[in-house]
Chain A
Amino acid sequence: MLRLDARYFAGSPFVHLKTEVIIIGGGSTGTGIARDLALREIPSILLEKGDFTSGASGRNHGLLHSGARYVVSDREAARECITENRILKAIAPHCIEATGGFFVSLPEDSLYWRDQFIRSCMDVGIEAEPLQRDDVLQRDPAINPDLVAAVRVPDGAVDPFLLVIENARDAERNGAKCLTHVEVTELLAAGGRIRGVMARDTITGEPHDIEAPFVVNATGAWADHILKLAGLHLGLILSKGSMLITNRRLCRHVINRCRPPGDGDIIVPNETVSILGTTSVTIDDIGRIEVTPPEVSRLIEAASHLIPAVKTTRFIRAYAGVRPLFQFADAADGRAVSREFVLVDHGARDGLSGLITITGGKLITYRLMAEKVCDLLCGKMGVRVDCKTAVTPLPGAERPFDLSGRLKEFGDVPLQGRGETLCDCELIGRGEIEGILRQGRLRNLQDILHRTRLAKGTCQGAFCVYRLLGVLQEQGLTGGGEPHEILKGFLEERWKGVRPILGGLSLREEELIESIYRGLFNL
């Protein structure tokens, strides 16, 4: 894929840099750490080899856990979730839709487990309201009418892309520096101490030499890849989770099965679509993750028990993320903060001081994970500054999530400042895209797509990406090469997500798209 014109790349050609903390990884944890440090006025540089949210932070359910899912098996994890759930609702309301969630009991599900579930929720402090069958169906008519009962909990939906971008934006506003498309190639150490990193711009190849007394490895499932540069190893187990996106919003609430967690038993409403998942398959190679048709069939089967309409719904995309799982069997040499995430001080564990790894965990606990890392760093630096992220709202928090407002706005005939509507599925106008372009730091098409909901709706970019390229061309941003290369690159990337779900009703959409791009445009 071609790079965009360099004038929209905000990063100037850094070659030698010096800072206090280098953060590797631009997911929710990495950007969370950058923001936490920035609010404590500790300088940092974040390095991300792709764009923000390229890893698991952009490839999950978008579920704002209440903790109820773990409450029976792991109260500590559940307690963390509900605390963070409340904090995120306060600091990032614009990234969250507080839908509420139902834990649904079907006739074959154990009511004994349900009792245990409700009791555990009460113990941990998760609001759990038992509901009768009719009451549930009235509030969410899509749910399987065979249900026996359900429990309402404060689950919700979160936009992980926006959340991560907002963290990065606020970090930079407070003095941090974030470099995307910069890959760490070496960890520099001397005398048992980390000294910095060598890195490389993945697009220009330009080398970066960054000095810092502390390096935080916040690369999630890639943690062992980074540690390998220092000859270290955590032995993470990689577990692939696959998800499916439906072409419409199937339900109003997050739906879970009220029984011990299993495959395909969560459905999350997410703006105009719903997301079903997930599976858990151990993989060896993180470079090659794909969703297989049997997984798709399994997810559809499982989710159809919760919402029967799943069987007759058109799917628009499948995707998979990778969870890094830490083996606590040899936890003696690691410092287990909780069973949900792991914080490793490689000074204590491996004799390489200044290097810290944070991995595991969930999107919902990213802020807590960042806080723990920063507390550890502050301790090592010998400074005492309290964490401020739990009480400081993110920049866009004054504009809370407002779907109906948006629908009304786009219903107006005069376009005002919005410009023509580029994306009908998600109601994105030219004005919004031009705003994103002005923010800078865009190196390729995916960078833009990470910052907008354009192409995330039912047509998965089939119409709007052509239009987006039209706008980019007008702004002189498509670089010098063949403009079709970007379009072709997008269509191939899209195909990876679409091909596994092709079957049933989705074949119609496929024929339409192929008729346009292979037929009409002869690509």
Chain B
Amino acid sequence: MRYDLIVIGMGLSGLMSAKTAVDAGAKVLVVGKGTGGLCLFTSGIDVMGALPAGAAMGEALPRWIERHPDHPYAKMGWEGVREALEAFAELFPPPYGFAPEGEGNCLLPTGAGTTRPTYLVPATMRSACRLEKERTLLVGFQGFRDFYAEYAAAGLKCRGENLAIPEIAGRNNSATSLARLLEDLPFREQVAAEIVRRLRGETHVGFPALLGFRNPMEILKDLEDRTGTAIFEIPILPPSVPGMRIFRRFRQHLIARGATFLLGSPVSRILRNGPSCTAVEILHPPVTQVYEADRFVLATGRFMGGGLCADEETMREPLLGLPLSASLPREHWFERSFLEGREHAIHGVGVVTDGDLRPLDGAGRPYAANLWIAGTLLAHQRWIDEKSREGIEIATGYRAARKALAS
């Protein structure tokens, strides 16, 4: 069994590479240890939240890219980013789609009562884009510990209340269990009745992002009909139900298109023969499986994903030992303040590639003839501060697969 492309990593960048490849008719294996940040943090699709408020993405991002010529976005330009975002959005036809609200970023409320900028807004969060404080009630669940409605409401200067639902009282409720419960009509009826009981003239209701996995817009519409309000979801502490929806949709699409999907499979080695990578080795003690392919996309993320690791003093890319963009002494990794002042320098370190996303060796030549890099493993991006995670993952995942298949 030989694949056209093996994608290592099952976060958003790996999934995007795999989707791009299967859509082009390639025979694809996608292997991953876990699902990356996708199922933990993703709600909307951030592209470049750091742009000035109100700026039109199509105008401001190209200018931003000009000022950041090393950034991964510079390798495909705004046109390339937009093309990739469109390919992503194809996977999510209405009613649960992702679309910009206006020209630029939209500020969405979070579970901490802050707001954050995002570009592609999921349909379930659209009503939150123009939050009217006096007309908004945030609701949580009594006993659900990953979202405190009153706390979030205090930050957003609106009202917050916790719903008392007897069915879930007296136990620890996880986000996933509540999301599943909300798919059931009888449970939703209780929730809607509780919301109505607590409304004091509010027309908008913010709800923790738990509105089911399968048909979130159906659930949202049902709650809207029952309460007579506009409902929106608010991203909360991990895990992220909206992120899981994206993962599920990709998995469904990839499997339907004939990709082989191996979750929970850490790659232990990439085998090489001369200038080319030949296969990946997956260790499932006591069995070791070897999968061969013509091309490889490495999308293993950063420290959480295992794409980077470190000892006490140095950082490295563990699978191939790819050169990193900088070797910083440990005392320069992080700033003295967690939140204020400069960005932590460690986040800018990553794998350096050419314009086609092929990693470079120490001498600046492609490290291998058939290897491409996608996602946050790439150097010269600071997704946390830029608020650019999903944009980078989608754009580089798409481009890496396109470049791989064109070779």
Q: Which residues of A pack against B, CB within 8 Å?
A: 293, 297, 300, 413-416, 419-422, 463, 466-467, 469-471, 473-474, 478, 482-484, 487-488, 491-492, 494-495, 499, 502-504, 507-508, 510-512, 514-523
A473 touches B151 (CB 8 A): yes
Could you tell me the distance in whole angstroms from the C-beta of A225 to the nearest C-beta in chain B? 25
Closest to B49 in A: A522
**Residues 187-231 of B at the A interface (beta carbon under 8 Å):** none
Set of chain B residues within 8 Å of A492, measured between Cβ atoms: 337-340
Set of chain B residues within 8 Å of A466, measured between Cβ atoms: 111-112, 148, 151, 237
Closest to A480 in B: B154
Q: How many angstroms from the CA of A467 to the CA of B346 in the assembled complex?
A: 29
Q: How many angstroms from the CA of A421 to the CA of B235 in the assembled complex?
A: 21
**CB within 8 Å for A516 and B237 given contacts A293-B331, A508-B304, A511-B302:** yes
**Residues 47-96 of B at the A interface (beta carbon under 8 Å):** 49
Of B269-277, B353-361, B384-392, the one touching chain A: B384-392
Which residue of B37, B116, B162, B170 contacts A415 across the interface (Cβ within 8 Å)?
B170
Set of chain A residues within 8 Å of B268, measured between Cβ atoms: none
A507 touches B116 (CB 8 A): no
Of A419, A503, A523, the most chain B CB neighbours within 10 A belong to A503
Known contacts A293-B331, A470-B150; 9 additional CB pairs below 8 A are A470-B148, A474-B148, A478-B151, A484-B112, A512-B238, A517-B112, A518-B384, A520-B235, A523-B112
Set of chain B residues within 8 Å of A508, measured between Cβ atoms: 303-304
**Residues 160-177 of B at the A interface (beta carbon under 8 Å):** 162, 170-173
Q: 5 shortest A-B CB distances, which residue pairs? A: A470-B148, A495-B338, A522-B116, A521-B112, A473-B151
Q: How many angstroms from the CA of A440 to the CA of B340 in the assembled complex?
A: 33
Q: How many angstroms from the CA of A166 to the CA of B83 in the assembled complex?
A: 64
**CB within 8 Å for A416 and B303 given contacts A515-B384, A519-B387:** no
A297 touches B337 (CB 8 A): no
Q: How many angstroms from the CA of A370 to the CA of B384 in the assembled complex?
A: 52
Could you tell me the distance in whole angstroms from the C-beta of A290 to the nearest C-beta in chain B? 9
Which residue of B117, B144, B339 contacts A491 across the interface (Cβ within 8 Å)?
B339
B145 contacts partner chain A, Cβ-Cβ < 8 Å: yes
Which residue of B144, B148, B338, B384 contacts A469 across the interface (Cβ within 8 Å)?
B148
B310 touches A503 (CB 8 A): yes
Q: How many angstroms from the CA of A488 to the CA of B341 in the assembled complex?
A: 13
A521 touches B148 (CB 8 A): no
Set of chain B residues within 8 Å of A482, measured between Cβ atoms: 155
B172 touches A473 (CB 8 A): no
Could you tell me the distance in whole angstroms from the C-beta of B35 to the nearest C-beta in chain A? 14
Set of chain B residues within 8 Å of A473, measured between Cβ atoms: 148, 150-151, 154
Main secondary structure of the interface of B (DSSP, over half): loop
B387 touches A469 (CB 8 A): no
B303 touches A523 (CB 8 A): no
Which residue of A293, A297, A474 contacts B150 across the interface (Cβ within 8 Å)?
A474
**CB within 8 Å for A293 and B41 given contacts A470-B150, A503-B310, A518-B384:** no
Which residue of B41, B112, B312 contacts A515 across the interface (Cβ within 8 Å)?
B41
**CB within 8 Å for A519 and B41 given contacts A463-B237, A512-B304:** yes
B333 contacts partner chain A, Cβ-Cβ < 8 Å: yes
Set of chain B residues within 8 Å of A521, measured between Cβ atoms: 110-112, 114, 116
Q: How many angstroms from the CA of A507 to the CA of B311 in the assembled complex?
A: 10
Which residue of A478, A502, A503, A518 contacts B339 across the interface (Cβ within 8 Å)?
A518
Set of chain B residues within 8 Å of A504, measured between Cβ atoms: 310-312
Set of chain B residues within 8 Å of A469, measured between Cβ atoms: 148, 151
B330 contacts partner chain A, Cβ-Cβ < 8 Å: yes
A522 touches B114 (CB 8 A): yes
A510 touches B339 (CB 8 A): no
**CB within 8 Å for A516 and B145 given contacts A421-B172, A474-B150, A483-B113:** no
What are 29 sample pairs from A and B whose C-beta atoms fall under 8 A apart?
A: A300-B312, A414-B170, A421-B145, A421-B172, A422-B145, A463-B237, A466-B148, A470-B148, A471-B148, A482-B155, A483-B113, A484-B113, A484-B155, A504-B311, A504-B312, A508-B303, A510-B303, A514-B338, A514-B344, A514-B384, A516-B41, A516-B238, A517-B112, A518-B384, A519-B389, A520-B116, A522-B110, A522-B387, A523-B112
B115 contacts partner chain A, Cβ-Cβ < 8 Å: yes
Closest to A522 in B: B116
Set of chain B residues within 8 Å of A512, measured between Cβ atoms: 40, 238, 304
B143 contacts partner chain A, Cβ-Cβ < 8 Å: yes
Of B110, B151, B170, B344, the most chain A CB neighbours within 10 A belong to B151
Set of chain A residues within 8 Å of B333, measured between Cβ atoms: 502-503
Q: How many angstroms from the CA of A523 to the CA of B113 in the assembled complex?
A: 10
B304 touches A511 (CB 8 A): yes
Closest to B343 in A: A518
**CB within 8 Å for A499 and B334 given contacts A415-B170, A504-B310:** yes
**Residues 112-168 of B at the A interface (beta carbon under 8 Å):** 112-117, 143-148, 150-151, 154-155, 162
Q: How many angstroms from the CA of A494 to the CA of B334 in the assembled complex?
A: 14
Q: How many angstroms from the CA of A300 to the CA of B313 in the assembled complex?
A: 13
A414 touches B171 (CB 8 A): yes
Q: How many angstroms from the CA of A139 to the CA of B43 in the assembled complex?
A: 49
Q: How many angstroms from the CA of A499 to the CA of B346 in the assembled complex?
A: 12
Of A293, A422, A510, A519, the most chain B CB neighbours within 10 A belong to A519
Q: How many angstroms from the CA of A297 to the CA of B43 in the assembled complex?
A: 39
A502 touches B110 (CB 8 A): no
**Residues 320-364 of B at the A interface (beta carbon under 8 Å):** 330-331, 333-334, 336-340, 344, 346
Q: How many angstroms from the CA of A471 to the CA of B41 in the assembled complex?
A: 23
Could you tell me the distance in whole angstroms from the C-beta of B326 to the nearest C-beta in chain A? 15
Q: How many angstroms from the CA of A410 to the CA of B396 in the assembled complex?
A: 45
Closest to A518 in B: B384
B384 touches A507 (CB 8 A): no
**Residues 291-313 of B at the A interface (beta carbon under 8 Å):** 302-304, 308-313
Closest to A416 in B: B170
Q: How many angstroms from the CA of A510 to the CA of B40 in the assembled complex?
A: 14
A297 touches B114 (CB 8 A): no
Q: How many angstroms from the CA of A416 to the CA of B334 in the assembled complex?
A: 43
Could you tell me the distance in whole angstroms from the C-beta of A5 to the nearest C-beta in chain B? 13
A502 touches B112 (CB 8 A): no
**CB within 8 Å for A419 and B143 given contacts A463-B237, A507-B310, A515-B37:** yes
Closest to B118 in A: A522
Q: How many angstroms from the CA of A517 to the CA of B383 in the assembled complex?
A: 13
Set of chain B residues within 8 Å of A415, measured between Cβ atoms: 143, 170-172
Could you tell me the distance in whole angstroms from the C-beta of A391 to the nearest C-beta in chain B? 43
Of B49, B309, B334, the most chain A CB neighbours within 10 A belong to B334
B337 touches A495 (CB 8 A): yes
A502 touches B148 (CB 8 A): no
A483 touches B151 (CB 8 A): yes
Which residue of B41, B145, B155, B339 contacts A483 across the interface (Cβ within 8 Å)?
B155
Closest to A300 in B: B312
A523 touches B114 (CB 8 A): yes
Closest to A494 in B: B338
Set of chain B residues within 8 Å of A488, measured between Cβ atoms: 339
Q: How many angstroms from the CA of A356 to the CA of B130 in the assembled complex?
A: 64
Set of chain A residues within 8 Å of B303, measured between Cβ atoms: 507-508, 510-511
Set of chain B residues within 8 Å of A414, measured between Cβ atoms: 170-171
1/0 per residue, CB under 8 A from A, across B233-248: the answer is: 0010110000000000
A467 touches B145 (CB 8 A): yes
Set of chain A residues within 8 Å of B337, measured between Cβ atoms: 492, 495
Closest to A294 in B: B331
**CB within 8 Å for A520 and B110 given contacts A467-B145, A473-B148, A484-B155:** yes
Q: How many angstroms from the CA of A502 to the CA of B345 in the assembled complex?
A: 13
